[in-house]
């Protein structure tokens, strides 16, 4: 580990960690009413991106979602298989139209104890709390990024304290999945009335942990909720941990060293700076770490791809060869995705030999959806049929990307050069790249889509013609009448098997028309010490700590 030893001198990051750990110690000394911390019951992890708000209405970024998931609950929740399960709602019914959802609430769910409740300290959750929380999410004054989840809602109502009803404008089968998002958490009106805009730093929820202290960019601490309503299969109250401690070390290499030294209990994903130190080319732990750590892997609902601009009315496509479908197909056949994953990703993820729908969703079926495998002979034949044998006469093609994906694009550049295709890779800052893609100023670009909710509709919406940017996420400006018809049919179909069949038809049509080059389907990758148990996940990469224990 010689070349990593230099990272030990990241004094700024190291001092942040020291301050963080000292803060934990001081917290136990200064709060006489608190029980003493047991290190075996503290779960420690780093949030290098920082956290801007603990208000679930603003939980847009992953690390904010992770933090809010420890503090808040909603009507429903998801398990590791993306099955929607009861949470504060103990049961629900959906009427025959698919538009009315009626939830029956538990009567043993308490808000965290807080000064906002006065002398009573806390109270039980009732249906009016959901009415308040959901209407607040929709309010123009709040301007929350999560308000879109209720775009299809006609009405909320609370007929009695234990019943909550949602009426949709149109049937939308993935709606229960939307309700599992942290945007849809329940919060008490008393806390919002007391803290106002500072609710972001004074959160009150019902979750397995309650908010204790937050020194922004230094430390964030949650404590075990002694009144939490969920238990394990043996009847033991959850959570098992006493505390969750989050640090904010911005340097990923420095945070990795702290993990290696045992000062962190969790490392999510992998950075290029330590990828080869931790993993071998096959994606397995290197020998020297096998006794110390374990890996959790599962499909992650993230598809990485290259996108083509399909709107031929745009000036940039006037003389572009990418208007020709056979050229786009040739590019898809022209590089080895398996080799790309092995040498550039250490086999983290799966080569995308299907369409836009990733592994982890029921609609993904590699046997039914035949995408693009490496076939240079067929790629050469397609170029010849398009009028450019061996790429002769074909203008140079430019891929727009950001620095994080330059290696992937340069790999594809090298592979396609063997077919006679001249490819340039142009790197732009992420914000600039997003803007020029939105403005249809690039013909070929790197993109990705992480699911907002676990349904293939979320991916297929990228190609529905009425979702052209700026009205939606259709950045390629793909338009196909048959696709649109299937998309509308699927959005109203309540039979799961019929809807999945429609999804697969749409995905196959996308493969045929080639508005994108699927690169790979991502993976949830988590590293943690051998003494940690119960730390699983799901394809949404949610961090759920209520069943985690340290031995």
Q: What stretch of H or E contains 513?
A: helix 496-513
CA–CA separation, 43 vs 221, rounded Å? 10
Q: For 324, list phi and psi in degrees, rounded to 5.
A: -85, 120
Residue 38 has a pLDDT of: 66
The predicted structure's pLDDT at residue 29 = 39
pLDDT at 30: 41
Query: What's the CA gap between 462 and 460, in Å, rounded?
Result: 5
Look at residue 41 and give its three-state secondary structure.
helix
**In this structure, are residues 302 and 521 in contact, taking their beta carbons and an 8 Å threshold?**
yes
Using an 8 Å Cβ cutoff, are 24 and 36 in contact?
no
Is the predicted pLDDT of residue 39 greater than 80, yes or no?
A: no
As a whole-number percent, the residues of the chain with pLDDT over 70 amount to 93
pLDDT tens digits for range 6-30: 333 343 444 444 444 444 444 443 4
Q: Please name every residue paired with 167 in a beta bridge, in sequence order, or none if there are none.
A: 100, 155
Percent of the chain at pLDDT > 90 equals: 83
pLDDT bin (cut points 50, 70, 90) of residue 52 is: very high
- Spatial neighbors of 178 by CB under 8 A, at least 6 apart, are 149, 184, 452, 453
226-to-111, 211, 241, 242, 395 alpha-carbon distances in Å = 11, 13, 11, 10, 67
- Predicted pLDDT at 15: 43
Higher pLDDT, 282 or 332: 332
Contact yes or no for 211/71 (Cβ under 8 A): yes
Closest CA to 312 of 516, 471, 478, 424: 478
465 token code pair: 């013609």
CB neighbours of 301 closer than 8 A, spacing ≥ 6? 358, 360, 361, 450, 451, 454, 522, 539, 540, 541
Q: What is the mean pLDDT of residues 307-333?
A: 95
Across 438-445, average pLDDT: 94
Separation of alpha carbons 364 and 459, rounded Å = 11
Quote the pLDDT of residue 270. Answer: 84
Q: What pLDDT, on a 0 to 100 scale, did the predictor assign at position 80?
A: 87
Contacts of 94 (CB under 8 A, 6+ apart): 100, 101, 102
Of 509, 496, 516, 178, give the one whose Cα is nearest residue 362.
496
**pLDDT of the residue at 36:** 53
Confidence of residue 67 (pLDDT cuts 50, 70, 90): very high
Please write the tens of the pLDDT for every residue from 248-266: 999 999 999 999 999 999 9
- Per-residue pLDDT at 31 exceeds 90: no
Task: For residues 273 and 356, give the distance between their C-alpha atoms in angstroms, rounded to a whole number.
Answer: 29
Tell me the C-alpha distance between 33 and 40, whole Å: 20
Q: Average pLDDT for residues 398-426, to the nearest whole number?
A: 95
For residue 465, the model assigns a pLDDT of 96
| Span 154-168, pLDDT tens digits | 999 999 999 999 999
Name the β-bridge partners of 526. 268, 296
pTM: predicted TM-score of the whole model, two decimal places: 0.86
Residues 92 and 212 sit within 8 Å (Cβ to Cβ)? no
Cα–Cα distance measured from residue 116 to residue 114, given in angstroms and rounded to the nearest whole number: 5
Whether residue 501 has pLDDT greater than 60:
yes
What confidence tens digit (pLDDT) does each residue in 342-373 have?
A: 999 989 999 999 999 999 999 998 778 889 99
Distance separating alpha carbons of residues 43 and 242, to the nearest angstrom? 8
Strands (E), 146-287: 153-160, 163-168, 209-215, 219-224, 243-247, 267-268
Spatial separation of the C-alpha atoms in residues 232 and 533, rounded to whole Å:
14
Q: Which of 535, 537, 531 is nearest to 550 (CA)?
A: 531
Q: Which domains does the chain have, with CATH numbers?
A: 1-71+207-266+535-551 (3.40.190), 73-196 (3.90.76.10), 300-522 (3.10.105.10)
Rounded Cα–Cα distance for residues 132 and 155 (Å): 13
pLDDT at 197 over 90: yes
Q: What is d(CA 353, CA 402) in angstroms, rounded to the nearest whole number?
A: 24
């Amino acid at each position: 580990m010689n070349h990593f030893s230099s990272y030990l001198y990241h004094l700024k990051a190291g001092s942040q960690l020291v301050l963080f750990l000292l803060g934990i110690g001081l917290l136990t000394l200064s709060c006489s009413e608190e029980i003493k911390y047991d290190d075996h019951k503290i779960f420690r992890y780093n949030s290098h991106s920082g956290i801007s708000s603990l208000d679930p209405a603003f939980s847009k970024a992953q690390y904010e979602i992770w933090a809010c998931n420890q503090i808040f609950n909603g009507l429903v929740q998801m398990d590791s298989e993306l099955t929607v399960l009861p949470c504060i709602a103990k049961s629900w019914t959906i009427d025959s139209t698919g538009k009315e959802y009626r939830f029956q609430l538990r009567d043993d769910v308490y808000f965290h104890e807080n000064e906002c409740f006065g002398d009573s300290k806390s109270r039980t959750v009732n249906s009016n709390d959901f009415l308040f929380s959901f209407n607040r999410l929709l309010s123009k004054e709040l301007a929350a990024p999560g308000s879109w989840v209720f775009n299809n809602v006609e009405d909320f109502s609370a007929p009695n304290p234990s019943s909550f009803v949602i009426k949709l404008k149109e049937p939308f089968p993935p709606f229960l999945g939307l309700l599992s998002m942290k945007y849809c958490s329940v919060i008490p009106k008393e806390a919002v009335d007391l803290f106002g805009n500072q609710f972001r730093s004074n959160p009150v929820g019902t979750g397995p942990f309650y908010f204790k202290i937050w020194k922004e960019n230094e430390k964030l601490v949650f404590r075990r909720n002694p009144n939490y309503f969920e238990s394990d299969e043996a009847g033991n109250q959850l959570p098992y941990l006493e505390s969750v401690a989050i640090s904010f070390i911005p340097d990923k290499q420095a945070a990795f060293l702290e993990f290696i030294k045992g000062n962190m209990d969790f490392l999510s994903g992998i950075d290029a700076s330590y990828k080869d130190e931790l993993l071998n080319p096959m994606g397995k732990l290197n020998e020297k770490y096998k006794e110390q750590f374990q890996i959790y892997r599962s499909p992650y609902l993230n598809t990485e791809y290259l996108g083509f601009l399909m709107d031929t009315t745009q000036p940039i496509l006037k003389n572009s060869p990418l208007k020709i479908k056979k050229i786009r197909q040739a590019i898809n056949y022209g590089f080895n995705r398996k080799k790309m994953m092995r040498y550039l990703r250490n086999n983290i993820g799966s080569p995308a030999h299907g369409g836009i729908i990733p592994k982890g969703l029921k609609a993904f079926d590699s046997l039914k959806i035949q995408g693009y495998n490496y076939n240079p002979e067929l790629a050469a034949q397609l170029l010849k049929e398009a009028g450019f044998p061996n790429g002769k006469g074909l203008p140079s093609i430019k891929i727009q990307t950001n620095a994080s994906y330059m290696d992937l694009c340069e790999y594809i550049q090298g592979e396609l050069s063997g077919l006679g295709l001249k490819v340039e890779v142009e790197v732009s800052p992420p914000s600039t790249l997003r803007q020029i893609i939105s403005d249809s100023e690039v013909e070929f670009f790197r993109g990705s889509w992480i699911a907002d909710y676990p349904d293939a509709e979320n991916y297929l919406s990228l190609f529905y013609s009425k979702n052209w940017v700026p009205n939606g996420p259709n950045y390629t400006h793909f338009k196909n009448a048959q696709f649109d018809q299937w998309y509308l049919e699927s959005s109203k179909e309540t039979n799961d098997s019929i809807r999945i069949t429609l999804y697969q038809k749409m995905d196959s049509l996308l493969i045929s028309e080639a508005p994108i080059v699927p690169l790979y389907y991502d993976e949830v990758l988590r590293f943690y010490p051998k003494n940690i148990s119960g730390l699983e996940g799901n394809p949404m990469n949610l961090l759920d700590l209520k069943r985690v224990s340290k031995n």
